[in-house]
C-alpha cells in the first residue's frame, strides 16, 4: 500500500510546533479573561442552514468553499467554515437572546473551507474568535478592536500590522449603497472580470472584494470614504465618527479603507481587518465587524452584536516573520529511571510514578535491554542529566543509585526519601503533559 498522507490543505501539528500553539492559546485565554470573555465550544458540524441563511447566498464561502454533505439521516450538514453563525445559533438555542444584558464569548478551534491551498491558506485552519451580544454602542466596537490589538501585542506582532476600517451602513442604507455602486461600476463593465460582471447584477458590494488587479484598481479609484459618507444615513455616519475618535483616544490609528467590505454578508456598520503586509497574498491576520441583524435573521430576538476572528496559522507566520520563535524548545523529562535487569522494571515503574505524583517530569526504562544502552538514551534525551539506577542490590537495600550524567558522579540515596530530595533540588514548572 502506498503510504497515506494528510489531505491537501490540512496539516499535522507535530509536538515541537504544538508548543507554539499552546503558548499562543495560553496567552490568548489570559488576555480574553481580562476583558471578561468566556469560552464557548460549538460543534464542528452544523445543519447547512446555519451558514446558508447567514453568510449570504452570493458569498464565496457559501457558493464555492463549504464542505457540504448529506449525513446518514439525509440531512444537509456542513463542516463549519467560520464561528460566528454557530455561536449565534447557540446563543438563540439556549435562550440567551431573551435574557438581555451583555454576553461575551470567545472560541478557539478548527474551521474548514475548500479553498485552493497556498501559503497561509488552508482547508482546515484555526481561528480565535470573539462575539459580543447586546450592545449597539460605538464604544463597544472600540473595545472589541482594542481587544484585537491587545491580543496582537501580547503575541508580539503589533509593530508590523495595520488596522483597516470601514462602515458598511445599516440595512436601510443597503439599497442606496448597491444602487450607487452599480452606477459607479457600470461604465467599466468591459474591464471587469467575469465574476464581477455577475456581481454587478447580484451584489455589487462583492466587487470591492475581488482580487483581480483590474477590478481592484477600478474599485480603488471610484470608491472613496467621501462616497460612503454620502451613501450612509446620519446615524451610521455618527456611529462611525465616534468609533474613529475613540480609537484615536486610546492610541489606535485606523486606516480608513473604502474598499473593505469583508467576504460575508452579515456585516452592518463597523467592519475591520488587520493586515500584516509582509505575509504576501494572504496577509489578513484577522477581521470582523458588527452584525446587528444576524440574531433576528436566524430566528432570535433582535440583538446587536459584534466580533472578530484571528487566523492562528497566520499569527504564527507573522511571529516567524518577526523572528519570535527562538525560545520554543521541547522540555524533556527531567529524570530517567534505569534498571539493571528486567526484574527491577516494576520497582522502576513504582519510582517513576512516585516522581510524577510529586510533579517531577520523569520517564523510565520499560524494555529488557542493557544498562549501557539505557544510559546512552538518557544522555540523549534527559535535559537535567539525572538518572536513578535500580539494581538487585539497590532494591534489596531499599536504596537507589543517583547518577549525574554531566559529572559522572554517583551517590547512593535511601529510596524512601529520594523523591522529596529531588523535588527540592530540581523541581521547576512541570514539563510533563
Footprint of ligand HAM (CB under 6 A): 82-84, 113, 115, 120-122, 125, 127, 129, 131, 263, 284-289, 307-309, 311, 313-314
Q: Which three cell numbers stand for residue 365?
A: 526504562
Alpha-carbon span 133 to 179, nearest angstrom: 31
Residue 131 CB, nearest approach to ligand HAM (Å): 5
Contacting residues for 185 by C-beta, under 8 A, at least 6 apart: 192, 196, 200, 204, 207, 218, 222
Residue number with CB closer to ligand HAM (115 or 195): 115
Residue number with CB closer to ligand HAM (82 or 143): 82
In the chain the first and final C-alpha atoms are separated, in Å, by: 34
Residue 126 CB, nearest approach to ligand HAM (Å): 8
Residue 120 CB, nearest approach to ligand HAM (Å): 6
| Distances from the Cα of 309 to the Cα of 14, 151, 261, 274, 289, angstroms | 24, 11, 15, 10, 10
Q: Is the dihedral of CA 380, 384, 390, 391 positive or negative?
A: positive
Residue number with CB closer to ligand HAM (129 or 204): 129
Residue number with CB closer to ligand HAM (53 or 365): 53
If we measure between CA atoms, which residue out of 424, 418, 369 comes closest to residue 398?
A: 418
In the DSSP assignment, the letter for residue 6 is: P
Residue 268 CB, nearest approach to ligand HAM (Å): 11
Residue number with CB closer to ligand HAM (144 or 387): 144
Q: Which three cell numbers stand for residue 262?
A: 469583508
Alpha-carbon span 385 to 335, nearest angstrom: 7
Q: Which three cell numbers stand for residue 371?
A: 544498562
Alpha-carbon span 127 to 112, nearest angstrom: 10
In the DSSP assignment, the letter for residue 51 is: H
Residue number with CB closer to ligand HAM (156 or 263): 263
Residue 253 CB, nearest approach to ligand HAM (Å): 20
Residue 166 CB, nearest approach to ligand HAM (Å): 13
Bridge-based pairing of strands 386-390 and 362-364 is unpaired
Residue 336 CB, nearest approach to ligand HAM (Å): 40
Residue number with CB closer to ligand HAM (83 or 134): 83
Question: Which run of H or E residues covers position 234?
Answer: helix 234-249
Alpha-carbon span 80 to 421, nearest angstrom: 51
Residue 115 CB, nearest approach to ligand HAM (Å): 5
**Closest residue to ligand HAM: CB criterion:** 311
Residue with cell 478551534: 109
Residue number with CB closer to ligand HAM (88 or 351): 88
Amino acid at each position: 500500500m502506498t503510504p497515506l498522507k494528510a489531505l491537501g490543505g490540512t496539516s499535522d501539528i507535530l509536538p515541537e510546533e504544538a508548543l507554539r500553539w499552546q503558548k499562543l492559546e495560553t496567552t490568548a485565554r489570559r488576555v480574553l479573561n481580562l476583558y471578561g470573555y468566556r469560552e464557548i465550544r460549538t460543534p464542528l458540524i452544523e445543519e447547512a442552514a446555519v451558514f446558508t441563511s447567514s453568510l449570504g447566498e452570493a458569498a464565496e464561502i457559501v457558493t464555492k468553499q463549504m464542505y457540504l454533505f448529506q449525513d446518514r439521516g439525509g440531512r444537509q450538514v456542513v463542516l463549519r467554515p467560520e464561528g460566528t453563525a454557530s455561536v449565534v445559533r447557540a446563543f438563540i438555542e439556549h435562550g440567551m437572546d431573551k435574557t438581555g444584558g451583555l454576553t461575551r464569548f470567545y472560541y478557539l478551534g478548527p474551521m474548514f473551507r475548500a479553498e485552493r491551498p497556498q501559503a497561509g491558506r488552508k482547508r482546515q485552519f484555526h481561528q480565535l474568535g470573539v462575539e459580543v451580544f447586546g450592545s449597539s454602542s460605538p464604544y463597544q466596537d472600540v473595545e472589541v478592536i482594542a481587544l484585537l490589538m491587545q491580543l496582537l501585542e501580547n503575541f508580539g506582532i503589533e509593530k508590523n500590522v495595520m488596522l483597516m476600517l470601514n462602515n458598511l451602513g445599516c440595512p436601510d442604507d443597503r439599497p442606496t449603497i448597491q444602487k450607487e455602486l452599480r452606477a459607479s461600476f457600470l461604465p467599466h463593465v468591459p474591464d471587469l472580470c467575469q465574476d464581477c460582471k455577475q456581481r454587478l447584477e447580484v451584489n455589487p458590494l462583492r466587487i470591492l472584494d475581488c482580487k483581480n488587479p483590474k477590478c481592484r484598481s477600478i474599485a480603488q479609484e471610484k470608491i472613496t470614504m467621501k462616497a460612503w459618507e454620502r451613501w450612509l444615513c446620519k446615524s451610521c455616519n455618527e456611529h462611525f465618527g465616534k468609533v474613529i475618535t475613540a480609537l484615536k483616544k486610546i492610541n489606535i490609528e485606523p486606516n480608513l479603507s473604502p474598499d473593505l467590505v469583508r467576504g460575508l454578508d452579515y456585516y452592518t456598520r463597523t467592519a475591520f481587518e488587520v493586515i500584516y503586509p509582509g505575509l504576501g497574498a494572504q496577509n489578513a491576520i484577522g477581521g470582523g465587524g458588527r452584525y446587528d441583524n444576524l440574531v433576528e435573521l436566524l430566528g432570535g430576538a433582535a440583538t446587536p452584536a459584534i466580533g472578530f476572528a484571528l487566523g492562528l496559522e497566520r499569527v504564527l507566520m507573522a511571529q516567524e516573520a518577526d523572528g519570535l520563535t527562538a525560545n520554543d524548545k521541547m522540555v524533556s523529562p527531567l529524570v530517567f529511571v534505569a534498571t539493571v535487569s528486567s526484574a527491577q522494571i516494576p520497582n522502576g515503574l513504582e519510582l517513576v510514578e512516585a516522581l510524577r505524583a510529586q510533579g517531577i517530569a520523569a520517564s523510565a526504562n520499560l524494555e529488557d535491554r542493557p544498562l549501557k544502552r539505557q544510559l546512552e538514551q538518557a544522555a540523549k534525551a534527559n535535559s537535567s542529566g539525572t538518572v536513578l539506577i535500580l539494581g538487585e542490590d539497590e532494591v534489596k537495600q531499599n536504596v537507589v543509585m543517583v547518577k549525574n550524567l554531566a559529572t559522572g558522579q554517583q551517590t547512593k540515596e535511601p529510596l524512601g526519601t529520594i523523591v522529596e530530595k529531588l523535588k527540592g533540588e530540581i523541581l521547576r514548572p512541570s514539563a510533563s503533559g
